[in-house]
Every structure is written in C-alpha cells, then in structure tokens.
Amino acid sequence: MENNVAIQLIGVNKWYGEFHVLRDVNLNVERGERIVICGPSGSGKSTMIRCINRLEEHQQGQIIVDNVELTNDLKNIDQIRREVGMVFQHFNLFPHLTVLENCCLAPMWVRKVPRKEAERVAMEYLEKVKIPHQAKKYPGQLSGGQQQRVAIARSLCMNPRIMLFDEPTSALDPEMIKEVLDTMIELAESGMTMLCVTHEMGFAKTVADRVIFMDGGQVIEMNTPDEFFNHPQHERTQLFLSQILAH
Amino acid sequence: MAIITEKALPSLPPPAHTVGFKAWAKQNLFATPTNSVITVLMVLFILWALIPVVQWAFIDADWAGTKRTDCTSGGACWAFTLVRFNQFIYGFYPEAEQWRVNVAALILAVGLGLLMYKKTPAKAYIGLFMVIIYPVIAFILLRGGFFDLPVVETSKWGGLTLTLVLSIVGIVASLPLGILLALGRRSELPIIRSLCIAFIELWRGVPLITVLFMASVMLPLFLPEGTSFDKLLRALIGITLFEAAYLAEVVRSGLQAIPKGQYEAGKALGLSYWQSTGLVILPQALKLVIPGIVNTFISLFKDTSLVMIIGLFDLLNIVQIAAADPIWLGSQVEGFVFAAIVYWMFCFGMSRYSQYLERQLNTGHKR
Ligand SMILES: Nc1ncnc2c1ncn2[C@@H]1O[C@H](COP(=O)(O)OP(=O)(O)O)[C@@H](O)[C@H]1O
Ligand SMILES: [Mg+2]
C-alpha cells in the first residue's frame, strides 16, 4: 500500500524509568514535507526523532515509517533504518576512516553496492555538499562545519527517503552555521522529507512547511511558519519565541 | 590610540644559540648550576656501573672451550653459551631435522615482515595466509608425520623454539577469544554477560602457574581412562584461556572509551550489530588499547617460562638444565644473561612495533 504519508506517530508515549518523557505525541508527516521542531532544552525533541529510527524505543502507541510499523521485529527496524538518514549534533563521523570511507561504509555493507559504485556516488554527494577535495582526509583534519557536511553526505549516500536532523548546527562556531544550513536548504529544495530539530528560526522561516513546538514531552503547538512566528497561540510558545528571538 | 600595522614582517631564521648539539646540551644538561652538577654525577655513576660490566662481558671473557675449566680469564665464560647454543635454540629437537624449525621460522619472519612493511600489496591475503594456512604448515613441519617427515614428538621440542611456539600460539589464539569475551561482557543479554563475567573473573583470579599445574596434573584425572592428550597442547590451552581473560579486560577498557554517538551513527546507517562492531567500534577500541594489548603480550611471552613446572623445556628451563651439567658447573650467570638478552630482544621488538603502529594509525583525531 503506497500512500502519501512518510511518518505517522499515533498516541506515542515513552518513559525513561519513571520519567514520562513523551506524552501522547501525534504527528503526520507527508512525503516531501519539511518540518522544524523547536522547544526548550529537555522537552523531548531529540527523544521523539530518535524514536523514529529506533535509537530509542517507545512504549505505547504506534510509529509507522514509510508504511512499516516499528515493532520489536528486527527486520522492520533494519528496513526503516535503511530508509531514514540521521544527522547528529556532534556529527558522529567515524574518526578512523577517511571522509570517502565514511561515506562508502554503509552502502557497501548494508546495500551491498560494489566499492567502485559506492565511491562514485559518494563523490557525487561530497560534491553536492562542496567538499570533494577533502575526500581523502580524516574527519579529525576538518573543521566542524565541514564535518557536519560530510555527515550529511554520508547519510545521503544511503539514498534515504527521510532525513532526521538533531540540532545539526548547535555544536558549530557561528561562521560555520551558514555553510551547513545552505546544504540543508538545498536538500529541502530537492524534495527530501525532513524533520529538523533546530533553533535556527531563519531556516524554519525559509524552508519549513510546518513548525512544531514541544514542551514537557508534548506537542504544544503546530502551525505554518507564518502563523507560528507571527501569531503564536499558546503562551508557552510566545514565551519561548520571545526568549530566542531576543538575541 | 589606534595601532595600524602596514607591513607584514618577513620570517627570519631562529637565533644561532637555539639549534645544534651545543645548544641542546646547554638547554637540557647544563641549564642551571644544580642541573650541571646532577649531569656530572649521573655520568660518573653510569661509568662506575658500566666499566665492570664491560670488563666482565668483553675484556676478561673467554669465547673458546669445551668445559668450564677452560675458562681461565676470570670474566664471562661465553664458551658455555656457544657450545650449548644449538640446544638453547632447538631443545632436544633431533639435529638432522632442525632445518624444519628453520623453514617454519623463515616463513614466519617473511610473513610478519611483509605484514609490517607499510607498502606491501595484498596485505589482506598475506594476513589470511598467515592466520589460516601457516599454522597448518608450521604444525606439519614441526611435528612431522606427513610427506615422509619423521614424527618429532612435542616432548622433544624445546629452547627458544618452544618459547616461540607457546607465545605465538598463545597470542594468536587469545586475542580473538579476549575480544569475544569483552564484547560478551558488554552484551545486553544477561546470560551471555554473566557467563563472560564468570569466565573472566575465574581465570583472572588464579595464578598462571596453578592453571598450568591443573592442566598438566589434574585434567588427566577427569578425562576418560586411556585418552592421552598432548602435554604441550594442554599448556597451550591453559595459557590461551588465561591470557584471554586478561585481554578481555584490556579490550573492554577500549570499548568503554568509544562514545555512544559512534554506536548510534552505525545503527542510524543501518549497520547490523556485528557490522558496526567489526567496522566501527573495534578498529577504534583496539587502536586505543594497543599499549595495553602489547603489554599483555609481553608479559605472556615471559610467562611462558612457567611451563618449566610441568616439565616442558622452554628457553629458560633448558638454560638452567645446561648450567647444571657437571662439566659446566658455575656457568649459570652466563646462561641467564644469554636468556635475558634473548627475552629482551623479543619484548623490546614488540614494544617498538606497537609504538610504530600507534603512530601509523593516528588519524589526527585527538580528544
Ligand atoms: N537516556 C536517558 N535516560 C534518562 N533520561 C533521559 C535520557 N535521555 C534523555 N533524558 C531526559 O529526557 C528529557 C528529554 O530529553 P531530550 O529528548 O534529549 O530533550 P531535548 O532534545 O528536547 O533537549 C530530558 O529531561 C532528559 O534529561
Ligand atoms: Mg536534544
């Protein structure tokens, strides 16, 4: 059954021990949709997107990704992880492998692409994120912004249908944020389904179809960027926006 | 007040007194009066300690002779080590068959040399050959019984040959086992985790000498009547299991140092547990603990001399036996100095190689 829904969260609840971290989260993401998630620290943003590729396990409710439901069935988890790319705050590149090897590893071992082909595709994506000439270097030799762009390229090499971003620019020096955001904007324009946890409101305004505000493990408000920034409904949203737009 | 620099300064050579040997000595040996005094005292101390050693080992040494009384100069009696050299290397391995040991050693040396040399092509195949095919070749050569090679019982193996057999087999077999134990100890499956913890703690809690003694004396009591089980093989199994427990803890310390993000990145890319362990986690963890692993190997190499308590004639034991020969009575010091030099050469070699390897594997990722 092929339909237009990329991700569906239905009544998702999650606890860390006694701590109720996700509370009845409902979300429908359509193919090609770009969604920005914001909210104060500790509100459960990371936890929510990490549930989507099963880096965290939810205990109640349903998560359906690309028409496959996330259950304890390892086959489903593997299938979903192949289709969902993720970019982390701290890049998490493999320091013992070159940039090119970082990009080729998963395609070669998970998708069984021959090395030559994997390298060709990797170079294509490295070109797209504008660092093809660093392919033979190790991650430790690159700047933070370059590393994050490599991490994006590495995810794209698996040819995912959905990309998750967890604060991709929060660990970067200010002058490097733009180069990463530019890469993400380009990706958004290519029609990728994207979920981004970020506090870059400029990015949200330019590319997001919807903005989600989370607090205390709940989705408090969800709206188009226009409405969200100009007419926030909930007082917690208003407070949050006034705080982050203040500087 | 504003400061504006208009002209970029050219780069100049360093002042003369900061380069060269004289500058180095001044900076490092004679920087202050106290420093100079310490330097002079240390040089005097080294000379005071070294001169008698040189005198004993070289100036007053005897190199020729067939019995202890031929050594009359009062220094070292190297005649002893020269006469017994063959035995020190091969033990009681029949002289006519010793070429087999040499061939096995030669293949090993060439294989290791090729693997260590940076630019060797097709290293993976050489590595596979050395790990899978070479042990079979070495066994056929050393033990015989195939292709008209007469059988040489393992009880005849001895000297450096036996020391190397024990330590190389111990090293090669215990590392993979230790890695599996370390992974098992961090497993999410409680049964596997408990079994690994029990194994590690049991073997680490017992002295190697006890393990060897049990393997040699007690194991036969539990085996069914009539099954005999090569003594060397029993020692090898004991050493391997014992060292695997140590290595498991060394490897685990490396696994613990790998940030959680590395596991998560592997999962997010769709790698399976074994793929991310083998391709992402272990290469980094093992690199981190190279010093610890080599440390364990070095101590394993020297610990093989404990097999003397179960009656195997490794290098140290055979030196001791030779020195007890009535015609060489009093040559123990020379024998032990010889053994010490041989042990040191191998251990120092391992140590240097590990440092080289660490430098080679450094990818500029310093945390
Ligand atoms: N592994 C964990 N165990 C226990 N509590 C956790 C764990 N991970 C996160 N938390 C808690 O869950 C809450 C939500 O965390 P997170 O999803 O990381 O928030 P955000 O990304 O919005 O800052 C926080 O209060 C955090 O302390
Ligand atoms: Mg977070």
Closest residue on chain A to B283 (Cα)? A96
CB A159 within 8 A of CB A82: no
Rounded to a whole number of angstroms, the distance from the CA of A59 to the nearest CA of chain B is: 18
Q: What is the mean pLDDT of residues B321-327?
A: 81
pLDDT for A122? 94
pLDDT for B253? 94
pLDDT for B144? 80
Rounded to the nearest whole angstrom, what is the distance from the C-alpha of residue B96 to the centroid of ligand 2? 73
pLDDT for B134? 87
Nearest residue (by CA) to ligand 1, atom 7, is A16
Q: What is the mean pLDDT of residues B204-230?
A: 79
Say which ligand is closest to the CA of A171: 2
Instruction: Please name the residues between 156 and 195 in chain A that touch chain B, using a CB distance below 8 Å.
Output: 158
pLDDT at B281 over 80: yes
Rounded CA separation B74/B61 (Å):
7
DSSP state of A73: -
Neighbour tally for B121: CB within 10 Å: 8
Nearest residue (by CA) to ligand 1, atom 1, is A16
Ligand 1 pocket test target in A46, A51, A167, A195 with most atoms within 8 Å of CB: A46
Chain B residues touching A158 at Cβ < 8 A: 269-270
CA atoms within 13 A on the CB side of A9: 23
pLDDT for B64? 76
**Residue A214 one-letter amino acid:** M
Give the dihedral sign, CA B340/B343/B349/B354. Answer: negative
Instruction: Point out the residue among A82, A85, A88 whose CB comes nearest to the CB of B261.
Output: A88
Is B9 part of a structural domain of the chain? no
**Contact A96/B283, CB-based, under 8 Å?**
yes
pLDDT in tens, chain A (247 residues): 457 888 999 999 999 999 999 999 999 999 999 999 999 999 999 999 999 999 999 999 999 998 888 888 888 899 999 999 999 999 999 999 999 999 999 999 999 999 999 999 999 999 988 889 999 999 999 999 999 999 999 999 999 999 999 999 998 888 889 989 999 999 999 989 999 999 888 899 989 999 999 999 999 999 999 999 988 888 899 999 888 876 5
Q: What is the mean pLDDT of residues B188-195?
A: 91
Is B131 part of a structural domain of the chain? yes
Helix ranges restricted to H, B84-189: 85-90, 98-116, 123-128, 134-143, 159-185
> Which residue shows structure tokens 């994120």?
A129
Instruction: Point out the residue among B269, B270, B365 whose CB comes nearest to the CB of A95.
Output: B365
Rounded CA separation A237/A215 (Å):
9
Instruction: Please name the residues between 227 and 246 in chain A that touch chain B, using a CB distance below 8 Å.
Output: none
Check which CATH number belongs to the domain holding B302 and give it. Answer: 1.10.3720.10
Is B241 part of a structural domain of the chain? yes
User: Between residues B66 and A122, which one has the greater pLDDT?
Assistant: A122
Nearest residue (by CA) to ligand 1, atom 16, is A44
| Ligand 1 residue neighbourhood (C-beta within 6 Å) | A 16, 19, 21, 39, 41-47
The token duo for B353 is: 């190689």
Chain B residues touching A141 at Cβ < 8 A: 363-364
The dihedrals phi and psi of A27, each to the nearest 5 degrees, come to: -160, 135
Is B286 part of a structural domain of the chain? yes
Query: Pairing relation of β-strands A60-65 and A84-87?
Result: unpaired
pLDDT at B280 over 90: yes
Is B356 part of a structural domain of the chain? yes
Q: Check if A15 contacts B (Cβ < 8 Å).
A: no
Average pLDDT across chain B, whole number: 85
Which of A92, A101, A150 would you mutate first to test chain B, the one with the most B CBs within 10 A? A92
- Where does the pLDDT of residue B335 fall: very low under 50, low under 70, confident under 90, or very high at 90 and above? confident
- Where does the pLDDT of residue B158 fall: very low under 50, low under 70, confident under 90, or very high at 90 and above? confident
By CB atoms closer than 10 A (0-12, 13-18, 19+), residue A10 is: middle
Q: Which of A22, A12, A20 is nearest to A63 (CA)?
A: A12
Rounded to a whole number of angstroms, the distance from the CA of B279 to the nearest CA of chain A is: 8
Q: Which residues of B touch A (CB under 8 A)?
A: 259, 261-262, 264-265, 267-272, 275, 279-280, 283-284, 287, 361, 363-366
DSSP state of A54: T
Maximum pairwise Cα distance, chain A: 55
Closest residue on chain A to B284 (Cα)? A96
Q: What is the mean pLDDT of residues B299-327?
A: 85
Question: How many domains does the structure of chain B reveal?
Answer: 1
pLDDT for A81? 92
**Contact A81/B267, CB-based, under 8 Å?**
yes
CB A24 within 8 A of CB A9: no
- Where does the pLDDT of residue B228 fall: very low under 50, low under 70, confident under 90, or very high at 90 and above? low
- Structure confidence by residue, pLDDT tens digits, B72-82: 777 777 877 87
Say which ligand is closest to the CA of A38: 1
pLDDT at B229 over 80: no
pLDDT for A155? 94
pLDDT at B278 over 70: yes
The H or E element that residue A48 is part of is helix A45-52
* CA B23 to each of CA A159, B35, B257, B290: distance values in angstroms, whole numbers, following the listed order: 60, 15, 41, 36
- Per the structure, the complete domain to which residue B290 belongs is given by 81-219+228-360
pLDDT for B277? 94
Instruction: Point out the residue among A92, A95, A109 whose CB comes nearest to the CB of B264.
Output: A92
pLDDT at B367 over 50: no
Q: What angle do CA A183, A185, A188 make, to 5 degrees?
A: 115
Is B52 part of a structural domain of the chain? no
pLDDT for B98? 82
Chain A residues touching B358 at Cβ < 8 A: none
The token duo for B98 is: 């010793």
Nearest residue (by CA) to ligand 1, atom 11, is A42
Chain B residues touching A85 at Cβ < 8 A: 268-269
The token duo for A120 is: 């060709």
**Contact B272/A78, CB-based, under 8 Å?**
yes
Is B196 part of a structural domain of the chain? yes
- Where does the pLDDT of residue B92 fall: very low under 50, low under 70, confident under 90, or very high at 90 and above? confident
Q: How many beta-carbon contacts under 8 Å exist across A and B?
A: 72
Q: Check if A84 contacts B (Cβ < 8 Å).
A: yes
**Contact B264/A95, CB-based, under 8 Å?**
no
Chain A residues touching B285 at Cβ < 8 A: none
Is B106 part of a structural domain of the chain? yes
The H or E element that residue A246 is part of is none
Rounded to the nearest whole angstrom, what is the distance from the C-alpha of residue A37 to the centroid of ligand 2? 11
